[in-house]
Amino acid sequence: MFLLLEEAPDTFGYMILGYAFFSVVMIAYVASMYVRNRNLKRDLETLESIQAEEAKPTKRQ
């Protein structure tokens, strides 16, 4: 009977900290994905330019 009369513990602060931590982790993940995508595009442009240089006919003397 005494269990029903006790107050629930105040965990509101922990909930806010959890949401803040989750938000920081998700922002870091999205930023990481953005940087990786940018680097992949740069690598693709480099490979395409190398391929274009190799495809050019060379002048032979």
**Higher local confidence (pLDDT), 57 or 60:** 57
Nearest CA-CA partner of 45 in 56, 35, 53: 53
pLDDT of residue 15: 97
pTM over 0.75: no
Q: What share of the chain is helix, strand, coil (3-state, %, to 5)?
A: 80, 0, 20
- Report whether pLDDT(52) > 70: yes
Cα–Cα distance measured from residue 57 to residue 14, given in angstroms and rounded to the nearest whole number? 67
The span from the CA of 17 to the CA of 23, in Å, is 10
E strand map for 1-61: none
Q: For residue range 3-49, list pLDDT tens digits in order.
A: 667 888 899 999 999 999 999 999 999 999 999 999 999 999 999 99
